[in-house]
Chains A and B, each alone.
Chain A
Amino acid sequence: DAGVTQSPTHLIKTRGQQVTLRCSPKSGHDTVSWYQQALGQGPQFIFQYYEEEERQRGNFPDRFSGHQFPNYSSELNVNALLLGDSALYLCASSYRVTQETQYFGPGTRLLVL
């Protein structure tokens, strides 16, 4: 049973560029949430996708956008990258019931120069 997978594992970009991160949820899961974990901090919620729609959004600017595909996989896009966007981006999946545990992927480490 495959867990949550994310690609790429590492990424280096320069300021102003755009980046796309990808996530495949755990088998049987239909909800994907994205989190940003800055160095030395706990993960912060970016947004959540269910039935191909953004259902909830944290306190992140519109430069952060996402998409969910019919197979439940998801993308996180960040436009006009800033140095402060350097972080570990985590994807978590769960089943639709809100009390279900979220399972995390290994993350994509993004460095913006």
Chain B
Amino acid sequence: AQSVSQHNHHVILSEAASLELGCNYSYGGTVNLFWYVQYPGQHLQLLLKYFSGDPLVKGIKGFEAEFIKSKFSFNLRKPSVQWSDTAEYFCAGLDYGGSQGNLIFGKGTKLSVKP
């Protein structure tokens, strides 16, 4: 079955530390991957997406992710986190099982940034 997994449940960092959140997917064929963020009390927002082309994808707020096909990975990175990055981060893949695509989400990684 197609799946997306996030191995870090809760990550705690100090401001200015570097961030890398892991995401692995397990399906073949067309691979479209996303990172969404859910700030406390807010709705899911798209950080970045990979459809094709350059495997290094840059998103909003200084985030980037690298698609590594050989490792089935799409890790999220940020060189220097801020307190305002405290949120839950979800990796998702687009499942083309039907005529339209639906998203398969990982369980999420909660990021806490200490000021």
Residues of A participating in the B interface, judged by any CB pair closer than 8 Å: 4, 31, 33, 35, 40-45, 48, 50, 55-56, 58, 90, 92, 94, 96, 98-99, 101-107
Q: Cα distance A104–B45 when bound, in Å? A: 7
Q: Cα distance A44–B102 when bound, in Å? A: 10
- Are B49 and A104 in touch, CB under 8 angstroms? no
Q: Cα distance A58–B94 when bound, in Å? A: 13
A50 and B100 contact, Cβ closer than 8 Å, known pairs A43-B44, A90-B44: yes
- Are B99 and A102 in touch, CB under 8 angstroms? no
- Are A101 and B97 in touch, CB under 8 angstroms? no
User: What are the 3 tightest A-B residue pairs by CB atom distance, in nearest-first order?
Assistant: A42-B105, A56-B98, A104-B44
Residues of chain A with a CB closer than 8 A to B51's CB: 99
- Are A33 and B102 in touch, CB under 8 angstroms? yes
- Are A42 and B43 in touch, CB under 8 angstroms? no
B104 an interface residue at 8 Å Cβ cutoff?
yes
